[in-house]
Chain A
């Protein structure tokens, strides 16, 4: 039924900035502290307390905006968003409203159907988080934890540029990747450091007008993004195809039932009575300072991927895997810089290294130089590929020098003609019939003999050197 409808989605993403202290006070932002321990008069909203902006938070926000190709404004204004809720200590949230930090950016992501899509970024603004209301700790009562109150956030608002729940998810993964690269946030959705609200509407394909949108909230894991948006899209399609009309509303996603339910309609929506925050002068940033922040930006994932393709001759797909995380990309380059051949290094990193990391809390356990040494041993024939894998496992678990480890494991390949000759003699003596057939022209038996030499040598014989010795012995 959905083919008759086009889905239009815009996203508002809240990202927690990676600062040690809160947006307007010195309290710790550490996750998981006992309730109400990271608090002070400022973030508790005690009478008379005043906010002082966190400079690092401003710098991180500017870096994020720059990474999203936004125009960062030299003058932006904090504003109060007024509403009552027990986890909002001051009765207002300090945010930005009509004069945000940055506007007019974009982020390109790979959509499965449309290829590379450039999503417009409407704005990036700074704000503080609210506390947490805990409805399940005490019977018939709500508890409030204000550790999170005042934690610095940026809100990133996109244009309605996504045409499916899958695209929304692809954008979010790309956004997460970019923000992690820049070091702005850990973007951990499970810890609440990345939260997303979506505006969803449907329209007939080919139509350019936007349909009536509904906001979907409470999408609290990456795995729910597609499900929640699909549920809302399907609901709207059902409403319209049932002869009804979508009315503007806020919907809550319930991951247990995989459904959305109505929270409030437009008429019930709050009037936040925004006005400029009188406790804070306008945020004035010098052009040079903004330029300095831009200058701190690392190479972003898309650029790095392209460079990996051109510089190291990798496929788009391999480059994509290697640049997905900045730490992995940096590791890969270190391995190459340590002398490893780029394609071999890519195979080792994507195979052994990432496999090992997956089982060990994402740790890249083998130092880049060691891996480069190991790759060289395999490349030079000192180790078989299988032997190399054993050495890698040992290096990961216990460290050490690749050659020493290989020797200790006894997996060094033997290429010495004299030593090989002993195994060759042994094999030829044991298989007189095959030797006779080889001599009479059955050349394909060579692989049989190499296999036998490998067996006799318990894998130590260099399979590249063995045929030469065999050839000489069998031609006698």
Chain B
């Protein structure tokens, strides 16, 4: 790509982004994005591997070009004085930061209905949700506005919206990608992830943002991931199918799509085996102890003292905290802070937090047991259903939480996972999930390349 072409791409991207504004997926105003894209295209170094590639960024990742709001009133207009390591890496590779994507407030949600700046519409059916919390990122990619976008995962927030919107979503191994500049939700679970139009688009961006960072002590001292080549066949791959991910009440369309994908994997030469991950059912309860516990502490800094929006006319310190946080945080964020505060409280810690950590170890052991017996990858549905209707689950938090039941185990155990579209049911996309071994994302991506070519993602299952 030449400099002139990069400029053309930048302008075309700005136009495409303004055409999908009705989705409410982008929080950055159209004119701001256009100016920023043009400026970046002129400055970008042509030798970068992502030169000229526009990448939208979930608005909980700090950028210098745009405010970082986390979808919260409390941080409306907040500008970070520094940028996230992943952003620095993207820019160094020549990518263009294409504005900030809408999200559930502080990445807490599975439908992107919990944004202080309004819900995101599903690109294929505006009455439905795009999934969440990286719903803005998924919708922008699905609508064709950008080839890839950054999201973040704590319990499935990249894979679940990727599945709902029919795009590819990668959740790296915990420690593969720097979290520096990702506004923390559940620090032991959080990873920056990538949504892409294709396996290749997602994998290229993932490769660039991966690797060591001296600013993040939980980021492993490893080289960036080397992209695998696209395989013709999957001979030699052993793929495990865990029965716990195919319960009797699984959406029949999702089951059909998965069965078709499993047949395709066999046809590609992979050995498919039934396996068991016996503690899977405990993943969601475990997740909803650990994630809120960490969140209650991570979100304590939003107190109105140093930055963000402070309640006016306060007279006492307690009043400052109460009113700033009461008015600044939405209902779902407040709910999780309360739950998290409760489970860490003296006298309850052992019953909840400690127990959840023990369960987390059992979940990790489940995966090790399967991988130790010669299984290379696990294949499952990404979500139990296709995209649901807006408003359908907002009154029932538990129903909303169950949307992450197949994705949360990978976050709790740190293993890598990705979702790719494997067909449609009544016009709505279905996602298939590969779960891999720690730091062996290349195996997962290789299998995804082959499966992507073997099936039609837009065909009814």
For residues 29 through 52 of chain A, which have their beta carbon under 8 Å from a beta carbon of chain B? 41, 44-52
Q: Across the interface, which residues of B come within 8 angstroms of A53, CB to CB? A: 217
What interface size band does chain B fall in? 35 or more
A349 to B262, CA, bound (A): 88
Contact: A92 with B300, CB < 8 Å? Answer: yes
| Cβ-based interface call for B344 (8 A) | yes
Chain B binding surface SS class: loop
* Most-contacted residue by chain B among A273, A274, A279 (CB, 10 A): A273
Q: Across the interface, which residues of A come within 8 angstroms of B82, CB to CB? A: 41, 46, 49
Contact: A50 with B180, CB < 8 Å? Answer: yes
Contact: B188 with A278, CB < 8 Å? Answer: yes
| Cβ-based interface call for B15 (8 A) | no
For residues 315 through 349 of chain B, which have their beta carbon under 8 Å from a beta carbon of chain A? 317, 321, 341, 344-346, 349
| Cβ-based interface call for B104 (8 A) | no
Interface-located stretch among A79-87, A293-301, A359-367, A394-402: A79-87
A86 to B297, CA, bound (A): 15
| Cβ-based interface call for B259 (8 A) | no
For residues 62 through 89 of chain B, which have their beta carbon under 8 Å from a beta carbon of chain A? 62, 68, 70, 75, 78, 80-82, 84
- B81 to nearest A CB, angstroms? 7
Contact: A281 with B349, CB < 8 Å? Answer: no
Q: Pick the residue among B217, B296, B303 that contacts A280 (CB under 8 A).
A: B217
Interface digits, B382-415 against A, CB 8 Å rule (1 contact, 0 not)? 0000000000000000000000000000000000
Q: Across the interface, which residues of B come within 8 angstroms of A289, CB to CB? A: none
Q: Across the interface, which residues of B come within 8 angstroms of A273, CB to CB? A: 296-297, 341, 344-346, 349
Contact A46/B346 with A41-B82, A90-B301, A279-B218 known, Cβ cut-off 8 Å: no
- A190 to nearest B CB, angstroms? 28
Contacts between chains A and B (CB distance < 8 A), count = 100
Contact A49/B68 with A92-B297, A275-B297, A279-B217 known, Cβ cut-off 8 Å: no
Q: Across the interface, which residues of B come within 8 angstroms of A80, CB to CB? A: 297
- A42 to nearest B CB, angstroms? 8
A275 to B80, CA, bound (A): 28
A45 to B304, CA, bound (A): 12
A422 to B412, CA, bound (A): 102
- A40 to nearest B CB, angstroms? 8
Contact: B297 with A89, CB < 8 Å? Answer: no
Q: Across the interface, which residues of B come within 8 angstroms of A280, CB to CB? A: 217-218
- A280 to nearest B CB, angstroms? 5
Q: Across the interface, which residues of B come within 8 angstroms of A90, CB to CB? A: 300-301
Interface digits, B246-283 against A, CB 8 Å rule (1 contact, 0 not)? 00000000000000000000000000000000000000
| Cβ-based interface call for A271 (8 A) | yes
Find the B residue at minimum CB distance from A51. B217
Q: Pick the residue among A45, A50, A51, A278 that contacts B306 (CB under 8 A).
A: A45
Q: Pick the residue among B78, B182, B297 that contacts A91 (CB under 8 A).
A: B297
Contact: B75 with A47, CB < 8 Å? Answer: yes
Contact: B180 with A49, CB < 8 Å? Answer: yes
Contact A278/B294 with A47-B301, A89-B301 known, Cβ cut-off 8 Å: yes
Contact A48/B62 with A89-B301, A273-B341, A279-B218 known, Cβ cut-off 8 Å: yes
A294 to B184, CA, bound (A): 38
- A367 to nearest B CB, angstroms? 45
A278 to B295, CA, bound (A): 11
Residues on A facing B (Cβ under 8 Å) = 41, 44-53, 80, 82, 84, 86, 89-92, 144, 271, 273-275, 278-281
- Taking A45-B306, A48-B84, A279-B217 as known contacts, 18 extra A-B pairs with beta carbons closer than 8 A to each other, sorted by chain A number, are A44-B306, A45-B301, A46-B307, A47-B75, A47-B184, A48-B62, A48-B181, A50-B217, A51-B217, A52-B216, A80-B297, A82-B297, A84-B300, A144-B305, A273-B344, A275-B297, A278-B218, A278-B294
A220 to B256, CA, bound (A): 72
| Cβ-based interface call for B207 (8 A) | no
Contact: B303 with A47, CB < 8 Å? Answer: no
| Cβ-based interface call for B434 (8 A) | no
28 A-B pairs (CB sep. < 8 Å): A46-B81, A47-B62, A47-B68, A47-B75, A47-B183, A47-B301, A48-B68, A48-B80, A48-B181, A49-B82, A50-B215, A50-B216, A50-B217, A50-B218, A52-B216, A52-B217, A82-B297, A86-B305, A89-B301, A89-B306, A91-B300, A91-B301, A92-B297, A274-B344, A275-B297, A278-B294, A279-B187, A279-B218
Find the B residue at minimum CB distance from A142. B317
A314 to B293, CA, bound (A): 61
For residues 342 through 358 of chain B, which have their beta carbon under 8 Å from a beta carbon of chain A? 344-346, 349, 353
Contact: B182 with A275, CB < 8 Å? Answer: no
A90 to B300, CA, bound (A): 6
A48 to B86, CA, bound (A): 12
> Which 10 pairs show the lowest CB-CB distances between chains A and B?
A91-B300, A278-B187, A278-B188, A273-B344, A47-B183, A48-B181, A45-B301, A48-B62, A271-B346, A48-B183
Q: Across the interface, which residues of A come within 8 angstroms of B296, CB to CB? A: 82, 273
Contact: A86 with B317, CB < 8 Å? Answer: yes
Q: Across the interface, which residues of A come within 8 angstroms of B297, CB to CB? A: 80, 82, 91-92, 273, 275
Contact: A271 with B62, CB < 8 Å? Answer: no
Q: Across the interface, which residues of B come within 8 angstroms of A86, CB to CB? A: 303, 305, 317
| Cβ-based interface call for B119 (8 A) | no
| Cβ-based interface call for B214 (8 A) | yes
A35 to B258, CA, bound (A): 61
* Most-contacted residue by chain B among A48, A274, A278 (CB, 10 A): A48
A49 to B299, CA, bound (A): 13
Contact: A275 with B349, CB < 8 Å? Answer: yes
A430 to B305, CA, bound (A): 91
- A407 to nearest B CB, angstroms? 63
Contact: B301 with A41, CB < 8 Å? Answer: no
Q: Across the interface, which residues of A come within 8 angstroms of B75, CB to CB? A: 47
| Cβ-based interface call for B179 (8 A) | yes
Contact A48/B300 with A82-B344, A86-B317, A275-B293 known, Cβ cut-off 8 Å: no
A273 to B342, CA, bound (A): 9
* Most-contacted residue by chain B among A274, A278, A280 (CB, 10 A): A278
Q: Across the interface, which residues of A come within 8 angstroms of B216, CB to CB? A: 50, 52
Q: Across the interface, which residues of B come within 8 angstroms of A92, CB to CB? A: 297, 300
Contact: B80 with A46, CB < 8 Å? Answer: yes
- A107 to nearest B CB, angstroms? 31
Q: Across the interface, which residues of A come within 8 angstroms of B215, CB to CB? A: 50, 52
Q: Across the interface, which residues of B come within 8 angstroms of A82, CB to CB? A: 296-297, 300, 344
A51 to B218, CA, bound (A): 10
